[in-house]
Each structure stands twice: as C-alpha cells, then as structure tokens.
Amino acid sequence: MSAPEAADGPPESQSEAPPAWAFPPRARVLIVDDLLENRLMLGICCDQFGLAHECVENGLEAVEAAQTGRFDVVLMDIFMPRMDGVAATSAIRALAAPTCAVPIIAVTPAAPPGMVARYLASGMTDVVPKPIIPARLAQALSAALAQPSAATPVRMGARRAKVARRA
C-alpha cells in the first residue's frame, strides 16, 4: 500500500533469526587438515559454536589423537600427505570401542554425489563441502553430536563381519 506501511518492520527474510544450534557441553572436536588456513577457519567456527577443539595436520596424527578417546567428533580433510582422510577413517574405525564410534565428518572441496557416497561407505558420518558454510557445518556437527555412541560400532561391526565372510 503506502511506503510508511512497508517501513513498519524489516522484510520477512531479514526478520528471521538464524537457527540456534545446541551442542553438548564440553564437546570436543578434532580438526584434521594439512592446510593452516583451513584449520584456522574450522577452529573459528568451533569457537563460535562454543566447541573445544584441537588440530592435527594429517591422517596419521588424526589416528594417534583419536586413540586418546578425548574427542566427540572429527572434522576430517580428505586430501592430505602421509595418510589421507579415507585411510585415516578406516584406521579409526578399526580401533577398539568406543573410539571406533566417533563421528567423522569429511570436510572437502571434492563433494560430488559419487564421492560423497564413497566417503560415507568408508565410514564417515557426513560430508561438508569446502568452502565452509558455517550453518552447514553447525548442522553436521549438531547431527553428529546427537548420535547415540553405540550406533556406529554396531553398523561398523556388521560391515566388518560382511567383509570377513567374503574373504
């Protein structure tokens, strides 16, 4: 109708608040990426979400850090020297419970559907494409941290049993 009427409030798209993500208190994130810039960006996101985090530079360091059992979720780059993210995920899944159950989220620029299916089949919980969109990362972290910790070992154990029967 008139201009003053339209000025009574912001447009709907501007008045909607972004979703609030609730994370468990004291949740700890392991950030695995060979590039300092990516580790910094993911660390800033974790800080904004109120999540404690530690960083390592490659898959070998990720497996070693995961063995401590200190982490509730892992953000795993795919393409790294020494040991890539898929190999590191397989190594973590081969560890004893409950460590083998930690949710692992792939963070990668290579996220076409075929690759996403490969990452999920390798034991990863979710895939977040780079460049990072904080809301998408928060969604993946929220879902991963909400998982019952017993769900992954059963699924992984069933897959190992199938592989063992085929061998």
Residue with tokens 């419970």: 97
User: Using omega within 30 degrees of 0 as the cis cutoff, is the peptide bond preceding 131 cis?
Assistant: yes
Three-class SS of residue 105?
Answer: strand
Between 99 and 25, the higher pLDDT residue: 99
Q: Tell me if 160 sits within 8 A of 146, measured CB to CB.
A: no
**How much is the pLDDT for 149?**
57
Alpha carbons 146 and 24: distance in angstroms, whole number: 8
Between 23 and 166, the higher pLDDT residue: 23
**How much is the pLDDT for 19?**
57
How many C-beta atoms lie closer than 10 Å to residue 153's C-beta? 17
**How much is the pLDDT for 114?**
87
Summarised one tens digit per residue, pLDDT across range 55-112 is: 999 999 999 999 999 999 999 999 999 999 999 999 999 999 999 999 999 999 988 8
**How much is the pLDDT for 10?**
44
**How much is the pLDDT for 20?**
62
116 burial (CB, 10 Å; 0-12 / 13-18 / 19+) is middle
**How much is the pLDDT for 89?**
98
Mean pLDDT of 138-146: 94
Q: Tell me if 78 sits within 8 A of 104, measured CB to CB.
A: no
Model confidence, pTM: 0.78
Indicate if the pLDDT at residue 36 is higher than 70.
yes
**How much is the pLDDT for 106?**
97
Average pLDDT, the chain: 82
Q: What proportion of the chain, given as a percentage, has pLDDT over 70?
A: 75
